Amino acid sequence: MGTKLNIAREVFGSNERMLTAALVQRRTPKKIPFLPAGGSGRYTTYLCVSVTNDKPQKGFITKVKQFDSSGGFVQRSRWTLAQIHRVDGISVAGHSAEFDLIFDECHDQWSASSSAEKDTFLQILYHTCQRYSSPVPSFVNCPPHCLTGTVLPATVGVGNSISDARRALDERGAMLGTVERNTQEMELSAHNFSRTAHKLAEMHRN
């Protein structure tokens, strides 16, 4: 989560919310005839989904690179969600880490670091497109669970949402435990009171 928080801070700042970032690499590397600005040598690539804070809100996919020589994050390419024609998940079975993004002027073929990271990226991208893109791009060959369920794009990635939900459940469990203990104590007190009253009644009869 530390890397994603750093990307959100260094690339997007306070005017935009980064919803997720997937570590990716090209399946068909591009030949670049010049040295890219902002760094040289080896680098790591992330695809980020973000939404602006200002209304009307707009969604974007941003390609971010981290060069080994500098360690910082640099924004490279950027597309609005409306520029996406199609998202191809390659495999409905959900075992592949590969996926394609087809834009107006390019067709990018990617591999995520794992099938799980790919699925998370596609699920958040799908729900973000449903909410912020017009027209909505088509999603094909995607695992069904990527196109169902509810994703709330309010935090960086899904870790915070999961932590919040777990914390809420823990708090609810603690509250229920307290109520249960209080109920048991009340039942015990009532039982003791009943026994005492019964003994007093017998004493008076005798």
List the domain range (segments joined by +) for residue 124: 2-156
What does the pLDDT average to over 103-110?
A: 91
Q: Say whether both 139 and 189 belong to one domain.
A: no
pLDDT band at 152 (very low <50, low <70, confident <90, very high): very low
DSSP class of 34: S
Q: Which is it for the CA torsion 125, 130, 133, 138, positive or negative?
A: positive
Q: Which of 64-68, 166-170, 184-188, 194-198 has the highest mean pLDDT?
A: 64-68
Query: Whole-model pTM above 0.75?
Result: no
Q: Say whether both 52 and 137 belong to one domain.
A: yes
Q: Say whether both 138 and 198 belong to one domain.
A: no
Higher pLDDT, 94 or 184: 94
Q: Say whether both 127 and 195 belong to one domain.
A: no
Q: What percent of the chain has pLDDT over 90?
A: 53
Compute how many other C-beta atoms are within 10 angstroms of the C-beta atom of residue 115: 18
Number of domains in the chain: 2
Q: Say whether both 166 and 65 belong to one domain.
A: no
